[in-house]
């Protein structure tokens, strides 16, 4: 909203300092209002807009600052602000769609584990007491269920402590450099979600590189910014390698093809863009294409996950039913005798 409003004010002829003063008063949070105030004061003191934004890296990432810098240098700040607002809106829209599509599966999975916890804590021990009063040999599923329930009831605090330690241990590990590399490599291989994440990364790569190139930044500087803007370290390293090869005189499309991380369609579009001098246009088309693919994948996400959830629920219910009700046939036989 800040980018959109600032573009509107700036396009209407309002001086940048005055526009920032207006947005400073309209900010919805005190923290952001203070950030905008600091930026306005820096500009009034003679600091450039991009330079003043770079003093707040937690609010304005390097990609944002670089595009603003290109807009200042080329006299197209309004157009750059509009592009930034569109990019940010699309990113927020995709994230909201993924959260919405995964809400139902999350509720189902949480409900299943809550139900299992209640069964293991309160229901299964009563059945175990009932079965122990009869001298019958229990089926394997029943013995397994009773053993799991007994372990759960007796060592629940150890399981809870282990779960907490594992959770925080994994979080700490994935914040390390090897952990980040492993995570970004694994997420692309996750069934169902991996292809969506890859399309999102490729869309961001295409959109950012196209916008930077359209704004007049040299291709090497654009690739350097893109390597820090994409949300995946594996792709980021490939972009950095491609930058080094392009600096040595090789073509962008040839190095993308040699990488193996970029689909043939994207490589073909970049090749056409290089040959015709319309690289930014081809990259924008690729970004739109992947955005459409993401929308389709997200719409089909619930449909894809439902059979998996149903199969998971079926296996659990079948195991519980066999474990609880199989011994009852033997008990009925003993009672009849």
pLDDT in tens, 217-241: 788 888 888 887 777 888 888 999 9
How far is the C-alpha of 3 from the C-alpha of 81, rounded, in Å? 6
Is 62 within a domain? Answer: yes
Phi, psi dihedrals of residue 218, rounded to the nearest 5°: -60, 155
Distant-in-sequence contacts of 275-283, Cβ < 8 A, 24+ apart: 279/210, 279/213, 279/252, 280/210, 280/211, 280/213, 280/214, 281/210, 282/210, 283/206, 283/207, 283/209, 283/210, 283/213
Grouping H, G, I as helix, E, B as strand and the rest as coil, residue 60 is coil
211 neighbors 231 (Cβ within 8 angstroms): no
Of 227, 201, 186, 231, the residue nearest 291 (C-alpha): 201
Is 311 within a domain? Answer: no
Residue 195 DSSP code: H
Tell me the pLDDT band of 39, cut-offs 50, 70 and 90. Answer: very high
Is 108 within a domain? Answer: no
Split into its structural domains, the chain has a count of 2
CATH code of the domain covering residue 76: 1.20.81.30
Is 116 within a domain? Answer: no
How far is the C-alpha of 38 from the C-alpha of 58, rounded, in Å? 14
Q: Copy the structure tokens of residue 14.
A: 């309002």
| pLDDT at res. 165 | 94
CA of residue 48 relative to chain centroid, distance? 33
How far is the C-alpha of 265 from the C-alpha of 283, rounded, in Å? 11
Measured at the CA of 147, the angle between CA 141 and CA 148, to 5 degrees, comes to 90
Residue 169 has pLDDT above 90, yes or no: yes
Average pLDDT, the chain: 84
Is 201 within a domain? Answer: yes
19 neighbors 6 (Cβ within 8 angstroms): yes
Grouping H, G, I as helix, E, B as strand and the rest as coil, residue 56 is coil
Q: What is the pLDDT of residues 284-336, one digit of tens each?
A: 899 889 888 888 888 787 777 778 888 888 888 888 888 877 777 767 766 66
Domain around 231:
193-299
Is 128 within a domain? Answer: no
Q: Domain boundary residue among 58, 86, 114?
A: 86
Lowest mean pLDDT among 53-62, 91-100, 180-189, 275-284: 91-100
Rg (C-alpha) for the chain, rounded Å, is 29
| pLDDT at res. 333 | 67
Q: Domain boundary residue among 44, 60, 86?
A: 86
Most confidently modeled range among 112-116, 119-123, 279-283:
279-283
Is 133 within a domain? Answer: no
Plot region of 260 (φ>0 → left; ψ -120 to 50 → alpha; else → beta): left
283 neighbors 210 (Cβ within 8 angstroms): yes
Q: What is the pLDDT of residues 43-65, one digit of tens each?
A: 999 888 889 999 998 898 877 88
Percent of the chain with pLDDT over 90: 12
Q: How many other C-beta atoms are found inside a 10 Å radius of the C-beta of residue 240?
A: 14
Tell me the pLDDT band of 272, cut-offs 50, 70 and 90. Answer: very high
Is 238 within a domain? Answer: yes
Q: Domain boundary residue among 86, 106, 127?
A: 86
Residue 337 has pLDDT above 70, yes or no: no
Of 67, 75, 79, 80, the residue nearest 226 (C-alpha): 67
């Amino acid at each position: 909203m800040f980018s959109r409003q600032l573009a509107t004010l700036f396009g209407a002829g309002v001086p940048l300092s005055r526009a920032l003063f207006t947005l400073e008063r309209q900010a919805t949070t005190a923290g952001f209002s203070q950030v905008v105030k600091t930026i306005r004061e820096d500009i009034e003191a003679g600091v450039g807009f991009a330079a003043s934004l770079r003093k707040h890296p937690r609010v304005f990432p390097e990609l944002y600052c670089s595009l603003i810098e290109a807009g200042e240098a080329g006299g197209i700040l309004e157009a750059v602000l509009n592009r930034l607002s569109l990019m940010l809106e699309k990113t927020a829209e995709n994230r909201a769609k993924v959260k919405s599509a995964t809400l139902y599966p999350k509720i189902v999975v949480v409900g299943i584990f809550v139900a299992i916890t209640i069964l293991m804590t309160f229901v299964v021990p009563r059945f175990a007491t009932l079965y122990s009063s009869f001298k019958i040999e229990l089926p394997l599923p029943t013995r397994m269920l009773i053993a799991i329930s007994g372990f759960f009831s007796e060592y629940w605090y150890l399981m809870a402590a282990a779960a907490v330690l594992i959770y925080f241990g994994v979080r700490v590990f994935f914040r390390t450099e090897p952990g980040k590399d492993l995570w970004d490599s694994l997420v692309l291989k996750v069934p169902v979600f991996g292809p969506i994440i890859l399309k999102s990364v490729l869309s961001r790569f295409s959109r950012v590189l196209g916008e930077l190139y359209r704004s007049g930044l040299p291709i090497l500087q654009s690739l350097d910014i893109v390597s820090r803007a994409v949300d995946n370290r594996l792709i980021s390293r490939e972009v950095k390698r491609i930058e080094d090869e392009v600096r040595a005189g090789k073509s962008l499309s040839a190095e993308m093809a040699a990488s193996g991380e970029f689909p043939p369609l994207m490589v073909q579009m970049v090749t056409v863009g290089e040959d015709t001098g319309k690289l930014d246009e081809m990259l924008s088309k690729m970004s739109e294409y992947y955005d459409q693919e993401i929308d389709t994948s997200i719409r089909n996400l619930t449909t894809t996950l439902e059979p998996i959830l149903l199969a998971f629920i079926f296996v659990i219910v079948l195991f519980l039913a066999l474990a609880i009700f199989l011994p009852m046939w033997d008990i009925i036989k003993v009672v009849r005798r």
